[in-house]
Each structure stands twice: as structure tokens, then as C-alpha cells.
Amino acid sequence: MSPAAHLLLILATEESAQDLLGSDILPALTDGARLTLLSALDDAALMDRFAPFAEWIMPLLHYPERRLLSVVRSVLEGAPARGRTLSPVLDTPRMLDALTAVEWHAGLRLRPRHDREEVGELLRVLRPDVVLNCSSAGAPGADLILRVARDLGVPTAGCVFSGEDLVSRSQLVNLYDYFFVPDEATGTRLLALCRTVSPARVVAGEAAPERRRADARRAAYRGFAGWWVSQRERGSTRS
């Protein structure tokens, strides 16, 4: 990572924007680094609060999925997280890995070529060192940007605020290189669902066991801020 590291934040929901501001991490994120926001929000007053920290604030465009992609993804859609069980034939490490690989290729190739190229060009122009989805990791809106970023070799990071966010093993594994969770218990659940994820790629915050969802989000954001600063000091996001 260069001294003028560039962080691309995706803001898909108002609650993520409010809690990102409430976590007070923006000064640490932007100390000696550049920040670009991709925002789906229409609230100009809220976006103005990010202006002192962001080099660019750009609209997060909507790229709809084709129905066939939803069908492919539904095979893996959160069975362990929601208390259901997969068929014994499917619930093996080798078969889950194969289905996840299918979802990865489908998630790119079943998108309109123009959409993929548009997102790819945006990322080549911005050249971020890391792309962070500030909404819950499985929330819609950022899927194509995250896939294209990983396809281009740009590290991606996602937040899992509670067990409710563990709804799609395939998307979690395919969209993110790093995960930021509010506490160790949530990290343990994430690793149980996504068995191919290295524990070294899961960073836990220090939220109390009994907390509001806003507190969980802020704990995960603070965990990311600590990781971002340490990676910049080491000069790499790819360890």
C-alpha cells in the first residue's frame, strides 16, 4: 500500500452512514490517506458531514441481477445460518466449494457486459487499495462492485454485525477478503458457516454481548479502523 493509500467506502443505507459518523473513525481512516465514498443515499445534509474527510463522494449506481443468478445462488442461501440443513450430498466441503465457485462465475458472467465494464473502468480510475462495504455484508447494492474489485485483485472488506447477517455462504466467501465483526462470538459463527475463510481474515471488535445493533456496527467499524491503520503502517493490505 502506498503512503497515500486510497480507501473506497460503500454506503448503501442511512443507518450505516449514521453509525460510521458516530464511530468517530473517519479522522483515523483519512490520516495520511485518501477516501472516496460511493453512496446510495439522497440526503445531502448527511453527505455534507462526510465532505471534510472525503476526496470524492459519488453515487452508488444500481445494477440489477438477472433472475437466473438468483436461482443459482439460492442453492447455497444460508442453510446453516438459518437453522436448516442441506442435503447430505451437498453439505460436504468439496461440493460446497464447487457450488461456491459456480456462484462466483455466475455472479460475474450472468451480469450484462456493459455493467461489468462500467464498474471495472470506475475502479481502474479510482485505483483503491481496499473497498469496504459499510452495510451488512449480505446487503444488496454493492455486489457487482465487490465482485469486479476482487476480479481485478483489489482487496475487499465486509461487515457482519450479527448472526442475522450470515444469510449467504456463497456471497460472503465470494465477495470479501476480510471480515469485520463486533465480537468474537460473531466471528466464530462466521467461521463455522464459511469454512474456507482463514481466521486471520476475521477481525473482531470489542462490543458487549448485550448491545444495540448500532453499537455492534460501531464496534465493527472501529475494528476496521484499527486494521486499516496497522496495514498502512506495514505497507500492505494483502497479508
Is 202 a domain residue?
A: yes
Specify the CATH number for the domain of residue 186: 3.40.50.2000
Q: Mean of the per-residue pLDDT values for the chain? A: 84
Is residue 91 predicted with pLDDT exceeding 70? no
Is 86 a domain residue?
A: no
Where does the pLDDT of residue 98 fall: very low under 50, low under 70, confident under 90, or very high at 90 and above?
A: confident
Is 56 a domain residue?
A: yes
Comparison of pLDDT for 116 and 83, the residue scoring more: 116
Is 177 a domain residue?
A: yes
* Residue 184 pLDDT: 93
Lowest-confidence segment of 53-62, 70-79, 114-123, 134-143 by average pLDDT: 70-79
Of 218, 3, 10, the closest CA to residue 123 belongs to 10
Average pLDDT rounded to a whole number, residues 64-81: 62
Number of domains in the chain: 1
Is residue 78 predicted with pLDDT exceeding 50? no
Is 163 a domain residue?
A: yes
Average pLDDT rounded to a whole number, residues 106-116: 86
Is 70 a domain residue?
A: no
Enter the C-alpha cell of residue 65. Answer: 441481477
- Domain membership of residue 123 as a residue range: 6-64+113-234
Average pLDDT rounded to a whole number, residues 153-170: 87
Average pLDDT rounded to a whole number, residues 114-120: 94
Is 91 a domain residue?
A: no
Where does the pLDDT of residue 90 fall: very low under 50, low under 70, confident under 90, or very high at 90 and above?
A: low
Is 39 a domain residue?
A: yes
